[in-house]
Structure 1
């Protein structure tokens, strides 16, 4: 026999509440609304659904406390049930980067000639590639840094040469670091939050480089840019 909508709703709600208590730790005896607020500080996924969870808490109270002969006086709409079940799935089994965002990373060395590096960028339609020397991260080669190098040469009256190495171009990188690193086990929520936090600070984030544990000197397992944000958002939207 199929479960009633109210039963499915309450089942998902209970799982979400358990997840909230797991996140907040010592504050497990707080009211649901307080659990949501506390957990949202620690978990970007909870923050995304904070408003909806509080709305659904009101519906949960109506289902639990307003009953006739132990039957709910109203059944939630199937869309509401499915939405809450989706949120439950996203919070209890969050997607991580290793699920589908790992890929072969095209990279170069600071000793490589710029001509070779730009051919890689052109062939793969990249505006940036990471630079590694002896398996250690050396910087991020971007079309912006190449443009600044070209502008400097034009201003100085120096002829361009294909023999220039990537290391020279890195000297023309932006003054502020425009990249960061993240573990392959990071959730999609956490990754989106990184982009949003940089934006809120007025900082430009050219790339998030994925590694085994988020260490900059580990081999790159993937690279994300602002162009990947729509795909990230799609994975947490119903």
Structure 2
């Protein structure tokens, strides 16, 4: 027998409430609205759906508390049910970076000639490329730092040397660290949150480098930039 919309809605709601209690731990006895607020502080996925979860809590109350002869007087629309089920799925089994956002990373060494690094960037249409000496992360070579290096040489009357080392160019980074690292099993919500946190601080984030455990000296498994944000948002949108 096919479930009623109200039954499907309540089933998804209960799963979400259970997830909220799991996240907040010792505060699991709080009312649903409070659970949402407390969980949102700890979990970026909850924060994304905070407002809509509170709205659906009102519908839940109408379904549970307003009944005639044990029948719900509020039967949610199928689109509402499907939306809540989607949110339930996003919260209980959130998509991770390793599922869709890993790829071979083009990199260079600090001892490489800048001409070689530039050729790699042009060939792959990159505006940035990570620099590694063995397993050690040295920095992020960007088109901005290359431009500043060229400008400095021209202003100083120095011939731009194509055989200069990448290490020399790294010294021209306006901000030494415009990147961060994240573990491959992090959720898409966590990756989005990283970009949003940097934005709120007024800082420019050039790259989020994905590694096994989020350690800077682990091999890169993927790189996210601002250009990947639409894809990240799309992955967690219905």
Please classify the TM superposition score into its range, dividing by the shorter chain length: over 0.9
CA offset at residue 176 of structure 1? 4.1
CA offset at residue 199 of structure 1? 0.3
User: Contact 2:139 / 2:177 at 8 angstroms: preserved in 1?
Assistant: no
Inter-partner Cα distance in structure 1 for 2:47 and 2:220 = 29
1:175 aligns with 2:170: no
Aligned residue runs from structure 1 range 1-238, under 5 A = 1-238=1-238
Inter-partner Cα distance in structure 1 for 2:153 and 2:82 = 60
Secondary structure of residue in 2 paired with 1:223: strand
Inter-partner Cα distance in structure 1 for 2:94 and 2:174 = 34
RMSD of the TM alignment (CA)?
Answer: 0.6
Structure 2 residues without counterparts, runs of 5 or longer: none
Once the two structures are superposed, what CA deviation does each residue of 1:32-61 show, in whole Å capped at 9, x if it has no partner? 000000000000010110000000000000
Once the two structures are superposed, what CA deviation does each residue of 1:171-200 show, in whole Å capped at 9, x if it has no partner? 101234100000001100010000000000
Inter-partner Cα distance in structure 1 for 2:189 and 2:161 = 44
Structure 1 residues without counterparts, runs of 5 or longer: none
Inter-partner Cα distance in structure 1 for 2:128 and 2:4 = 52
Inter-partner Cα distance in structure 2 for 1:175 and 1:102 = 26
Runs of 4+, deviation exceeding 6 Å: none
TM-score relative to the length of structure 2: 0.99
TM-score relative to the length of structure 1: 0.99
CA offset at residue 161 of structure 1? 1.5
